Structure 1
Amino acid sequence: MIVKKENATNKQFLGVDFVVLAIGEKSMVTKMLYKTTDNVPTHSHQNEQNGYVVSGKYRLKFGNFDEILESGDSYSIPKNVEHSIEILEAGEVVDVFTPIREDYL
C-alpha cells in the first residue's frame, strides 16, 4: 500500500494531533505532532511501540528508563509496559505500532 501525503489521515487522540501514515496487515505508522501543551500521562497498551524523534525534545519514562530524547534518537517500548512522555519542545515523532492501534483508526 502507498499513502501519498495528501491522502494521509489527520487524527487526534486525547488532545494530541497525529497523522496516520500507513496501515499494514499487522502494523501501523503514525507521525505524532506534539505541542508543549500536550500531556501524555502514564499509560500502557497491547501494542509494541517503536519511535523515531524527527524534531523536538521529550522526556520518555518506562521501565528503568527516564531519558531525554532529541532529533535522531529512537526507542522501543514493549507491549503492556506503562510509559509516559513529557513534551519539552514541540516537534514530530514517527511511531510504529504492532499490532495496529484500533483506537487510532
Structure 2
Amino acid sequence: MTQGSDIYLHDADVPWQDLGGGVRRKVLCYDASVMLVRVVFETGAVGAAHHHPHIQCTLVASGRFEMTIGGAKRILTAGDSFIVPTDVVHSALCLEAGELVDTFAPMRADFAG
C-alpha cells in the first residue's frame, strides 16, 4: 500500500487538499490497483467536465448533487451511487453541500502526492 505503511489508515492522519472553488479532497488508502478518495463540496461548487482512463465508482455520502455522466443528468442524494466507465466525460454540480466518496481503478497517479 502506498498511503501509509499499514493496512489501516486513520482519517485524522491525512490532510485535506484545497482544490479551490469550494472543493476539498482527501486521498485515503490506495495501491496500484485501487484508490479511495473523499471529496467535499460547498453548495454551488462544480466538478468541471472531465474524463480519465480509470473506472470510477462513487457513493454520495451526504448532500445533493446534479451529476452528468456521458450527457445524462441525474439528481443524487445521500446513499445514492454511480459508476463512470473508462474515458466517459462527467461532471458534478453541488446543489446542497455534501461529500462524495470516490473509488478509482486503477489508482490515480495524478492524485498520489
Query: TM-score scaled by structure 2?
Result: 0.84
Q: CA RMSD in A?
A: 1.5
Residues 35 and 41 (structure 1), Cα distance of their counterparts in 2 relative to 1, 3 Å cut: same
What count of residue pairs does the alignment treat as equivalent?
A: 105
Asked if 1:98 is matched to 2:105, the reply is: yes
Q: Secondary structure at the match of 1:6?
A: helix
Letter in 1 for 2:8: I
Aligned to 1:83: 90
2:52 and 2:18 map into 1 onto residues whose CA distance is: 17
Aligned to 1:4: 10
Asked if 1:59 is matched to 2:84, the reply is: no
Comparing 74-83 with 16-25, greater Cα deviation is found at: 16-25
Per-residue deviation, 1:64: 5.0
Per-residue deviation, 1:8: 2.1
Letter in 2 for 1:40: G
Unpaired stretches in structure 1, ≥5 consecutive residues: none
**Larger CA Rg, structure 1 vs 2:** 2
Per-residue deviation, 1:101: 1.2
- Aligned counterparts, 1:10-49, within 5 A: 10-13=16-19, 15=21, 16-49=23-56
Unpaired stretches in structure 2, ≥5 consecutive residues: 1-6
Letter in 2 for 1:21: L
Query: TM-score scaled by structure 1?
Result: 0.90
